[in-house]
Amino acid sequence: MVKMRLVLGLVFLLFILFACDENASENSTGAEDSHENEQEETEPVTVEAEAEDTEEKEEESQKETKEEVIDEDTVENLPPIPTSFAEAVDYPLTGQLAGVEFINQPEIIEVLDSFPTLTSESTEEEVEHWERYLWTLFKEDFSPVNVPIDQWESMQFSDPTAVDNEGIAVLERKETYNIAILLDSSGSMGNYEGERTRMDLAKEAIQQFVENLPEEATISLDVYGHIGTGSNADKEKSCSNIEEVYPLSTYNSDKFSKALNQFEPAGWTPMAKAIEVVEGKLKDYNGEENTNIIYIVSDGVETCEGDPVKTIQSLAESQIDPVINIIGYQVDNEGLEQLKEMAEASDGRYINAANQADLVSEFEQTVDMAKVWAEWSNDARETIAKLSNTIRDQVLDWNSMQKELADRENGNLNAAIKYLNEEQIIDSSVHQEFKGQIFNSHISIKGDIANIYLDIAGTNANEFLDNYFGIIDRYRDNID
């Protein structure tokens, strides 16, 4: 009995030990399984977090890069796309990528790659903003037309009654025309030019001049400075004597030659008083009905305390309305300054005669009426031809340049949106929207350029023809 109890006790003990060992094994296995499950659950979470973190960093990096290339505040405040040439000229920006043809240059690609993705899901505001920005990148610098077309409005060719654009004194066929010559006969005119005195050479030039004047012309010759000497004792006498050696009348060869030979250079230079005498002589010959031409020949300045500048200005403003020619004959710097000032004050012309040939050439300007009008006609036609050619060439150059700019701008914009579409930065709907805007603007700008060119070219041609035939008609009217 005791043995039986001992056996049963051993069996029970073994059972308990086996059961504990199995539980321990199960517990051990469960712990391992639990640990593995924990790893399986933890590892996917860690990978996803790392991926999200990497993506965020890439987005931040892209955003930073984009901000370096594009200032989005600028994109938000860009002016509308031009719809006319005038708007294109006034557009406040010139494209940073303008001026060259877009052929996939890296620096241009970099800017285009920085564009945001635009699709049919993008708002109209977003699309418009980036459309304007794209335009500013390639916007060319257009220029308004700047040719002298307005000169036609002020182009007037007065009859040859006064000083023309080249400073040549010419005549108009009026009721009469009078030529008054004031000749300086002061002591300095006795200086020699080669083997002859200035006075001898001046007299000879005047003689040739009057011999060739039209028969109907009237002439007068006044001299000053021919009395007394250059001494102070003779100053008052010399300064107070202005002599009309040939009264205003038609030319008579013998009388005029005698008048020229009766005086020699001697004293002082009362130029202002001589001008006053001529004004009194011509006071009854108003400029509306008479052509009055005055020649003042001098080699120096006023020496009798007169004011020739003020006096000649009074003469010019009188009803005589004279054509004034001041000939400085071998003058010094002081004389040159005063004579030029006189010419300016009287709207006259100053001629610097260095020798007798210059003096003869100057007098010959007023000899032949037919020649005068022929030269006037030729000069006038040459002037309008030059103006017309200048306008034609300048407007052609302008037209070519603006068309070149418009075509390059249009080509670059189309190439840019093609690239954006191919790189899937903009989808086909946005591509079509951009393309339509580019097309409409380009057509309007090119059309405006063409219209401006045609308008100016047509005006230029019409003005040239009107002026040309007007000159011919006036020339024929005055020589028939």
- Across the chain, mean pLDDT equals 79
| Residue of higher predicted confidence among 50 and 213 | 213
Which residue(s) pair with 298 in the sheet? 328
In the prediction, which pLDDT does 350 show? 82
For 212, the token pair is 């060739």
Lowest mean pLDDT among 64-73, 90-99, 108-117: 64-73
CA-wise closest residue to 265 among 182, 200, 196, 351: 200
The strand pair at 323-329 and 290-298 is best described as parallel
Q: Which residue has the higher pLDDT, 77 or 64?
A: 77
Using one digit for the tens of pLDDT, what is the confidence trace for 369-383?
545 666 777 888 888
Ranges of each domain in the chain: 88-141+392-477, 176-354
State the number of CA atoms in the 13 A half-sphere of 252 facing the CB.
Answer: 9
User: Given this model, what pLDDT does residue 175 score?
Assistant: 56
What's the token pair of residue 430? Answer: 């946005």
Please give the average per-residue pLDDT across 55-78, as a whole number: 53
Mean pLDDT computed over 29-36? 45
Residue among 125, 223, 201, 172 nearest 363 (CA): 201
pLDDT for 454 = 95
pLDDT at 222 over 60: yes
> One-letter amino acid identity for 86?
A
The mean-pLDDT minimum among 19-23, 175-179, 243-247 falls in 19-23
Helix, strand, or coil here: 404? helix
Lowest pLDDT segment from 76-90, 168-182, 345-359, 409-423: 168-182
Q: Give the percent of the chain with pLDDT over 70.
A: 76
Residue 234 has, within 13 A of its CA and on its CB side, a CA count of: 15
pLDDT digits (tens, 9 = 90+) for 120-179: 999 999 999 999 999 999 999 999 988 888 878 767 776 664 444 444 444 444 557 788
Of 401 and 2, more confident: 401
Amino acid 168: pLDDT: 44
Query: What's residue 75's pLDDT?
Result: 61
- Enclosing H/E stretch for 249: strand 242-250
Q: Name the pTM for this structure.
A: 0.47
Query: Residue 150 gets which letter from DSSP?
Result: G
Instruction: Give the pLDDT confidence score for residue 129 in this predicted structure.
Output: 92
Confidence of residue 74 (pLDDT cuts 50, 70, 90): low
Amino acid at 220: S
pLDDT of residue 106: 94
More confident residue, 351 or 274: 274
Q: Does domain 176-354 have CATH number 3.30.930.10?
A: no
* Out of 160-169, 266-275, 373-382, 447-456, least confident range: 160-169
3-class DSSP assignment, residue 98: coil
